Structure 1
């Protein structure tokens, strides 16, 4: 009887309870849902839409314009004046503006200079800024800046999406860690239960002292307590994971009980997050979205600086218009009938213009300093995380070997117990060390996964493809 009990103890203690049918959701499947349906990702797209709308608005400054100015005054049955002035303007890139107009005036008290032929007077001309506003002007600068802001918004959008994917990935790893811990406690509970039943039967057969059953029962209850704690921890992490899972029409979904994480995530994370080759050589940082965003911001400020320099010039606008009563005849527009003018203005001290230029220069310097600091910080962080990953990979390998060695020692102690050369106390001591090493291995694996995700986050690789596999959760 004793031999049979210990035979069961040694060879069955490592067996697992059959699991219910479950379905695995991989990290790539999970991130596909996050990237496509999460509200914050959609919110990041709004930033891009806003920049596109601003670009459209800035292009409106170059839209042709039709202006109509009509004034009429009648008093004591007398028509003082009836004036109509319609103008069509076409602005161009370099501040030059083409325009055509029609003027018709009549009345008893018209200003003599407003007298025009009865059929009206047509004009076609151009307005040219020869100093301020020729090579660069406000509408030209705004359009250029809007194009840069759109590119900057794309880079910022990538950073926003990258952050939400990073947070979602950490939550998945937390869920995976909780699941692995529960499975470990479940396995050790099975061992403790088998051991307790074997000792109990040995006691009933008079082959084991009563104190051994008490010790086996204490170990069993400890395993049950640990399993219950792990179960609650898994439920909480699953609910936290559900915060990132959405479907169409902003419908949140919740992880079902039969959905479990992929326990082979460590082997596939490099391909999932597209960092397997980057860890070896992360390459040039010029395409990093943070640096690209700062570069676009710097280019926009340089455009503004050019505009401020241009504002130091005097404002000199030349206008020339051909006049005609018969616009259908092109030869009627000649230099013998024209209206011309010049408008000159120049602030004497230029204090406002010089102040604006100085402020813009300070903004440029500020962004230049930020750009250099960010580049150095990114390089140092990337190198630090790279070294940490390499170290954790080595630690993970060593920890796995330690766990296997503790398993071997536990099996050896069980054989010694079978031969009557050990005790239940030593068995429980060996198993406690195995449990500690197993939990440390799970924690270390989680640290390696989190550090790899940090590498993904610091490189901002969210625009790289993530396998888009979807199914019912």
Structure 2
């Protein structure tokens, strides 16, 4: 219920007697809190956490109990019970302890009648000493957990970029609608003024037709702008979801917050060198290439073990009754040890696997280098667009101001009987075109700014 209340407050920023609005900040929060892609990335992170827990299971102590019994023709051949505990450690060393209780009349001569116990250790002295499969899987699982977080950043950078572009398009279409609406209202008032002037004989009747044509032109344009706003609102609604994973349609009477451009660009990094440095250091896609290299580095260490001989040492201290080291003489009495040596004479499998991993690392490093160049080029292109758009906006702002001045001057001349409605209408159309062009340039600048942040991987950094 709390999330639902938050969503309603964000979407319908309502005070009695005030217009319902949706600001970029409120919209941003809604997308980050409720969009399905956000929740899916969180699920992927939880799945990586589960995989890490599974990998840690390879180092869990194991409690085991084995029992067997055999009788034939009334004779008790063997009655065997053997509980045991083994404790693996990080460095490949494994400790174990257990009890053997053996009874029977047909035992092997190497078996000891009655209850005996042992405390033992197994140590790899060559292969698997510095790295083994259990350690490799656990280390790789930790890196895969980091990769899931970087994947989340990548997906949310893309999501937020698309979402903000939809918001900017909605704002642009609404601002264009307001421009045409203002011209339509002005044209309607002028038509009424001209009609009265014609009635009083101050204007020729043809001026009524000229004023009416201008009004109709703006009326048609207004209908198109209403349609554009409706389309933009539908596109925006695709990113609005509630806490119950249901889509939310933006109400028709909700409008963008006025003068929201400052909030849109408030936290943007607009320095080229800073953007490139941030991208090279912490771009999620680059981080994951580095994570892949780290995973392959662990695999390389594991494959190197295949080039080493297998030399395992095991030692068990034996005692009657329960496990005990009291009076232990280790290599003098009451012990059992073993040495296992194994070496493939050609090491074909080991050499092939090790070489294949080295080639994977080399290939992944090339991918990383190429991705770094691609990202830097992308940032530079967006930055160049950003600077060019700023210049265009300054020029267009000046042009729009000049067109407005021409319209006012033409209206004054018309009032003095020195101009015509045709010239006023022409000036108005040029002024409207300049105003719409200015709105388009500002919207494009905002989209470019967000694209520049996303290309550097900093649109979403958490």
Query: After TM superposition, is the score higher than 0.5?
Result: yes
Structural mapping, 1:59-78, within 5 Å:
59-78=56-75
- Which moves more between the two structures, 66-75 or 122-131? 66-75
The DSSP-based 3-state class of the residue aligned with 1:87 is strand
Asked if 1:123 corresponds to 2:121, the answer is no
Task: Quote the Cα distance in structure 1 between the aligned partners of 2:461 and 2:140.
Answer: 27
Structural mapping, 1:238-257, within 5 Å:
238-257=233-252
Are the counterparts in 2 of residues 117 and 325 from structure 1 also a CA contact under 8 Å?
no
Task: Quote the Cα distance in structure 1 between the aligned partners of 2:73 and 2:197.
Answer: 127
Asked if 1:357 corresponds to 2:350, the answer is no
- Which moves more between the two structures, 374-383 or 171-180? 374-383
Are the counterparts in 1 of residues 61 and 88 from structure 2 also a CA contact under 8 Å?
yes
Task: Quote the Cα distance in structure 2 between the aligned partners of 1:239 and 1:215.
Answer: 37
Q: Measure how far apart 1:306 and its partner are.
A: 0.9
Q: Measure how far apart 1:105 and its partner are.
A: 2.0
Task: Quote the Cα distance in structure 1 between the aligned partners of 2:65 and 2:344.
Answer: 32
Are the counterparts in 1 of residues 97 and 120 from structure 2 also a CA contact under 8 Å?
yes
Asked if 1:275 corresponds to 2:268, the answer is yes
Structural mapping, 1:347-426, within 5 Å:
347-426=344-423
- Figure out how many residues of one structure are paired with residues of the other and give that number: 442
Task: Quote the Cα distance in structure 1 between the aligned partners of 2:241 and 2:271.
Answer: 30
Are the counterparts in 1 of residues 118 and 323 from structure 2 also a CA contact under 8 Å?
no
1:153 to 128, 148, 151: 148
Task: Quote the Cα distance in structure 1 between the aligned partners of 2:391 and 2:118.
Answer: 83
Task: Quote the Cα distance in structure 1 between the aligned partners of 2:173 and 2:324.
Answer: 87
The DSSP-based 3-state class of the residue aligned with 2:418 is coil
The verdict on how the C-alpha distance between 1:328 and 1:51 changes in structure 2, with shifts beyond 3 A counting, is: closer
Could you list the per-position Cα deviations for residues 310-337 of structure 1 after superposition, in whole angstroms to 9, with x for gaps in the alignment? 1111212111111100336532443301
Asked if 1:109 corresponds to 2:106, the answer is yes
Q: Determine the structure 1 residue equivalent to 2:5.
A: none
Structure 1 unpaired stretches of 5+: 1-19, 466-473
Whose RCO is larger (CA < 8 A, sep 6+)?
1
Structure 2 unpaired stretches of 5+: 1-16
Asked if 1:81 corresponds to 2:81, the answer is no
Could you list the per-position Cα deviations for residues 400-454 of structure 1 after superposition, in whole angstroms to 9, with x for gaps in the alignment? 1111110110111111111222111111111111111111111111110110010
Task: Quote the Cα distance in structure 1 between the aligned partners of 2:106 and 2:444.
Answer: 90
Asked if 1:170 corresponds to 2:165, the answer is yes
Are the counterparts in 2 of residues 176 and 263 from structure 1 also a CA contact under 8 Å?
no
The DSSP-based 3-state class of the residue aligned with 1:321 is strand
Asked if 1:203 corresponds to 2:203, the answer is no
Are the counterparts in 2 of residues 321 and 340 from structure 1 also a CA contact under 8 Å?
yes
Task: Quote the Cα distance in structure 2 between the aligned partners of 1:76 and 1:164.
Answer: 77
Q: Determine the structure 2 residue equivalent to 1:5.
A: none
Are the counterparts in 2 of residues 127 and 318 from structure 1 also a CA contact under 8 Å?
yes
- Which moves more between the two structures, 456-465 or 288-297? 456-465
Q: Measure how far apart 1:366 and its partner are.
A: 1.5
Structural mapping, 1:312-323, within 5 Å:
312-323=307-318
Task: Quote the Cα distance in structure 2 between the aligned partners of 1:124 and 1:330.
Answer: 8
The verdict on how the C-alpha distance between 1:243 and 1:105 changes in structure 2, with shifts beyond 3 A counting, is: same
The DSSP-based 3-state class of the residue aligned with 1:72 is strand
Q: Determine the structure 2 residue equivalent to 1:427.
A: 424
The DSSP-based 3-state class of the residue aligned with 1:281 is helix
The DSSP-based 3-state class of the residue aligned with 1:311 is helix
TM-score norm. by structure 2 comes to: 0.91
The DSSP-based 3-state class of the residue aligned with 1:247 is coil
Q: Determine the structure 2 residue equivalent to 1:14.
A: none
Q: Determine the structure 2 residue equivalent to 1:262.
A: 257
Could you list the per-position Cα deviations for residues 89-147 of structure 1 after superposition, in whole angstroms to 9, with x for gaps in the alignment? 01111111110111122223322222x232x1101111111111001111111111112
Q: Measure how far apart 1:280 and its partner are.
A: 7.0
Q: Measure how far apart 1:278 and its partner are.
A: 4.2
Q: Determine the structure 2 residue equivalent to 1:8.
A: none
The DSSP-based 3-state class of the residue aligned with 2:207 is helix
- Which moves more between the two structures, 133-142 or 150-159? 150-159
TM-score norm. by structure 1 comes to: 0.89
Are the counterparts in 2 of residues 21 and 258 from structure 1 also a CA contact under 8 Å?
no
2:188 to 193, 198, 203: 193
Q: Measure how far apart 1:346 and its partner are.
A: 2.2
2:133 to 135, 138, 142: 138
